[in-house]
Amino acid sequence: MAGKRLRAWLADHRAQFRLALRVTVSAVATLVVAHLLQLQIPLWAVLTAVVLTHLSVGRSLRATADYFIATIGAAAYAGAVGAVISDAEGAALYAGLAIAVAPATLLAALNPRFSAAPFTAVLVFLAPTITHASAIASALERLWEVAVGGGIGLIVSLLVLPARAHDLAIEAAADMLELMARLQPGLFKKLTRHPRLDEVALLKQLDDIGQALIKLETTAGEARHERTARLTADLDQGPLVRTMLRLRHDLVMIWRAALEPLPAPFEARLGPWLTSIGRLTGYYLKASARALRARRGPPPMDAVISALDAFAAEIAALRQEGLTRGLSAHDAEHVFALAFALDQLRQHFTDLARILTESSASGRPELVA
């Protein structure tokens, strides 16, 4: 039993183990190259390689580009400040450091992409006090360290068990579908005033779906960097991200509709269909998650569509019988908001099925060597 749990844990954390291996290879390879090139302080090159080796190739690519831009600008500026205030001591040294660091810090605060700028400014300005080199030589040394560390980190990310952001985004979307699937039964039971319902747990599940969406959007952005750099030949994941966002909006609308009970006659007539919809949509979303991971086409949606059609038909029957005319404006808005949310859910399930079909046709493109 313990061995089985260990194997399952290792399988669930495969991406993290691969990252650990890539970071280790980056660190060791950078140290070797730094010694061969006789860099004065190999530490900075090794740290750069470690910082820029990320979970996916797309994230490593973006981090490396941002780090290079921030380093070049900060090194040039701090080197110029150091050249003007050369051999400074005491108050002049403190003032020079402030002049070098303040603009770099302001830039990093205004744009997080330049977060490496203050660190570089400090290194370039103060390194001459340790190495006794000129400020310009210190700036060039820093650029060389970043080139070595960043270059090796990116090469390792591409060659050593590379993790494609596209695949990680697919996994994030599948995880989100599974979270949605677990929410469905309880969410629709809430509409029928089920007596044994843990509303706190349901709200926590809805929050988890929101966090999963943030993760998906971030990873899909990293996948765009891979496509822009022509490292992969993947389908654009924009439609997938937008569909997942819309599905979450549907669930939020249904949650809001469930904050108050349906009027009694409507609950009695609609309750059985709502329970059926909750069960069937849960099955469908879970099956869709499996299909997305396996790059298969969408699962059958006939049962879900039939249940949603039956709900819509029951709403139409209630209107035809005149029961909606006796509702207050608030109750009428409540009922029709729920009907609109389920209509949107149906449409977005159709969008999801189309995306699964396209994903199965595209297969699993490899990283471009």
Q: In this structure, is residue 207 part of a structural domain? A: yes
Q: What distance lies between CA 118 and its chain's CA centroid?
A: 27
143 domain-assigned: yes
| The total number of structural domains that make up the chain | 2
Mean pLDDT of 182-197: 80
Determine how many CB atoms are found less than 10 A away from the CB of residue 318: 18
Of the residues 139, 159, 179, the one at which a domain ends = 159
The pLDDT score that the predictor gives to residue 79 is 83
User: 228-242, pLDDT tens digit by residue?
Assistant: 555 455 567 788 889
Q: What's the mean pLDDT in 302-319?
A: 88
185 and 145 in a single domain? The answer is no
| Three-state DSSP class for residue 119 | helix
| Residue of higher predicted confidence among 180 and 81 | 180
pLDDT at 296 over 70: yes
Q: Do 148 and 180 have their domain in common?
A: no
Residues 151 and 169 in one domain: no
Please say which residue of 136, 159, 182 terminates a domain.
159
- Does residue 112 sit in the same domain as residue 130? yes
Question: 367 in a domain, yes or no?
Answer: no
Question: Does residue 90 share a domain with residue 121?
Answer: yes
Judge whether 368 lies within some domain.
no
pLDDT of residue 215: 86
- Structural domain that includes position 82: 2-159
- pLDDT at residue 195, as a whole number: 60
What is the distance, to the nearest Å, from the Cα of residue 145 to the centroid of all Cα atoms in its chain? 30
Among candidate residues 102, 136, 159, the one where a domain is terminated: 159
Structural domain includes residue 353: yes
pLDDT in tens, 269-295: 888 888 899 999 999 999 999 999 888
The set of residues, in sequence order, having a beta carbon less than 8 Å from that of 362 and lying 6+ positions away, is 234, 235, 295
Q: Tell me: the pLDDT tens digits for 2-44?
A: 666 767 666 666 777 877 888 888 889 989 998 888 888 788 8
- Between CA 187 and CA 278 the distance in angstroms is 7
Judge contact between 26 and 152, C-beta under 8 A. Answer: yes
pLDDT at 173 over 80: yes
In a domain, 369, yes or no: no
| Alpha-carbon gap, residue 155 to 175, rounded angstroms | 29
